[in-house]
Amino acid sequence: MKTFHCDNCSKQVFFENTVCNHCGWMLGYQPEHQIMSSFTPADQAEVQADAPVDAPADLPADAAIESSTPARWRSVNPLNAGKLFRQCRNYAQEKVCNWMLDDQDAHALCASCRLTAVIPSLDDAGNRILWQRLEVAKRRLLHSLWTMRLQPPPKPDDADNGLSFEFLQDMPHERVMTGHADGVITINIAEADPAYREKMREQMAEPYRTLLGHFRHESGHYYFDRLIAGTARLDAFRALFGDETADYGQSLQRHYDNGPAPGWEQNFVSVYASSHPWEDWAETWAHYLHMFDTLETAYSCGVQLRPQHRGEQQLVIDASPVEEDSFDALAREWFALTYVLNSLNRSIGMPDSYPFTLSTPVLEKLRFVHAVVREAGGEPGADGSAISGIP
């Protein structure tokens, strides 16, 4: 993830923020530029221009927009000169989004919210916060996909190649399975509840289970269909991941009945990856996105490592991962960075943020994902329509 700054006071802000905690200006993400911008109500622009630049630092979050929700906003970012903007409807009304739309845009929902086909019932008071967390994780996934120039079109716009999300809740006699089928990613909203997720993580003996990880994993299945299935890449895929035509149901049943084969870690990034080549691909894809986003963050923050001990790895990240052709360079940076990530986490009493070791076969699979992403990014998809640039 890139770093973002308030246009008004220049302080650093996060991708998820709706308000600058320093100066109180309303913030919104503009996917067309991949930036966070600061906004002021359009009809009060002159008044705002005379207001002191620095509001008290302890201004409560959302104070600036709590009293009313203006219909039109101006941005002081020079990229937005002369334009008016609207908040996504899910921003203005539901408070689960922070993306902006050009006032000329025909849609009421932003490009992220348009991908969500089903939301949980808001009659259940606890569901709104779960929905919000799901949207936050989805937006982070989308930011990476768009940075890689792999923008999924919404399914209503492209029934064959599009993507949509369904956020579903367990019913008394019907359990929701998180998964992907034909361009529809279903997420059980309980995964947005940390207590449930931690219980499942323990139950499944997983070292790592996050909401963002679910989105990344399921997007892997979607991109398998777009970038691998039925393409010239399939042979190279099979050489690394195995024969994906192996019976999926039987493979999974065997995995759950017998557990992984001994020594699975020699060939797979996770236990679940060893259950079937499709899952291996999805786990490896998700892992590549973990690397991609974290290295982009480290690059944007200017992280460098100059260890005291001579044997330890130095780190200078020369390029954002989207500009990096060499997978070896990414892997080198990744090893140095994750050692420090885990060391820092242990120092503050947290579990390792990166509980993985990467064997040579796993690195070869990640190298393949890297090559596929670089080849596909910005080019038409295998069928000529799956992949497009940012709108």
**What is the residue whose two structure tokens read 């999974």?**
252
Q: How many whole angstroms separate alpha carbon 126 and alpha carbon 120? A: 10
Segment near Zn ion (CB under 5 A); pick from 61-69, 84-92, 227-235, 301-309: 84-92
What is the closest distance, in whole angstroms, from the C-beta atom of residue 235 to Zn ion in the complex? 22
Query: Which one of residues 17, 18, 22, 366 is an interface residue with Zn ion (CB under 5 A)?
Result: 22
**What is the residue whose two structure tokens read 């049943």?**
253
Considering the rule CB under 5 A, would residue 222 count as an interface residue with Zn ion?
A: no
Site string for Zn ion, 112-151 (x = CB under 5 A): -x--------------------------------------
Q: Which is nearer to Zn ion, 41 or 321 (CB)?
A: 41
Considering the rule CB under 5 A, would residue 36 count as an interface residue with Zn ion?
A: no
What is the closest distance, in whole angstroms, from the C-beta atom of residue 27 to Zn ion in the complex? 8
Considering the rule CB under 5 A, would residue 30 count as an interface residue with Zn ion?
A: no
- Count residues contacting Zn ion (CB under 5 A)? 14
Segment near Zn ion (CB under 5 A); pick from 21-29, 163-171, 186-194, 324-332: 21-29
Query: Which one of residues 1, 9, 336, 366 is an interface residue with Zn ion (CB under 5 A)?
Result: 9
| Residue 275 one-letter amino acid | S
What is the closest distance, in whole angstroms, from the C-beta atom of residue 209 to Zn ion in the complex? 13
| 3-state class percentages of the chain: helix first, strand second, coil last, to nearest 5 | 40, 15, 45
Query: Which one of residues 19, 26, 64, 88 is an interface residue with Zn ion (CB under 5 A)?
Result: 88
**Angle of CA points 48, 49, 54, to nearest 5°:** 80
Considering the rule CB under 5 A, would residue 8 count as an interface residue with Zn ion?
A: yes
- Nearest alpha-carbon partner for 267 in 331, 370, 356, 359: 359
324-363: contacts with Zn ion (CB under 5 A): none
Considering the rule CB under 5 A, would residue 99 count as an interface residue with Zn ion?
A: yes
What is the closest distance, in whole angstroms, from the C-beta atom of residue 200 to Zn ion in the complex? 15
Q: How many whole angstroms separate alpha carbon 90 and alpha carbon 73? A: 16
Considering the rule CB under 5 A, would residue 90 count as an interface residue with Zn ion?
A: yes
Per-residue CA distances from 175 to 101, 155, 171, 172, 248 (Å) = 36, 24, 6, 8, 20
Question: What are the helix (H) ranges across the chain?
Answer: 45-50, 63-66, 89-92, 127-147, 194-203, 211-227, 234-241, 248-258, 277-300, 327-347, 360-376
Q: Which is nearer to Zn ion, 144 or 338 (CB)?
A: 144
Considering the rule CB under 5 A, would residue 26 count as an interface residue with Zn ion?
A: no
- Nearest alpha-carbon partner for 183 in 150, 215, 219, 217: 219
Counts of helices then strands in the chain (DSSP H, E) = 11, 13
Q: Which is nearer to Zn ion, 135 or 333 (CB)?
A: 135
- What DSSP designation does 366 have? H
What is the closest distance, in whole angstroms, from the C-beta atom of residue 343 to Zn ion in the complex? 31
Q: How many whole angstroms separate alpha carbon 215 and alpha carbon 187? A: 8
Considering the rule CB under 5 A, would residue 274 count as an interface residue with Zn ion?
A: no
The string of DSSP codes covering 243-296 is -TTS-HHHHHHHHHHH-PPTTGGGT-SSTGGGG-HHHHHHHHHHHHHHHHHHHH
- What DSSP designation does 333 have? H
What is the closest distance, in whole angstroms, from the C-beta atom of residue 340 to Zn ion in the complex? 30
Q: Which is nearer to Zn ion, 23 or 190 (CB)?
A: 23
Considering the rule CB under 5 A, would residue 20 count as an interface residue with Zn ion?
A: yes
Provide the binding-site residues for Zn ion, judged by CB under 5 A: 6, 8-9, 20, 22-23, 88, 90, 97, 99, 110, 113, 279, 282
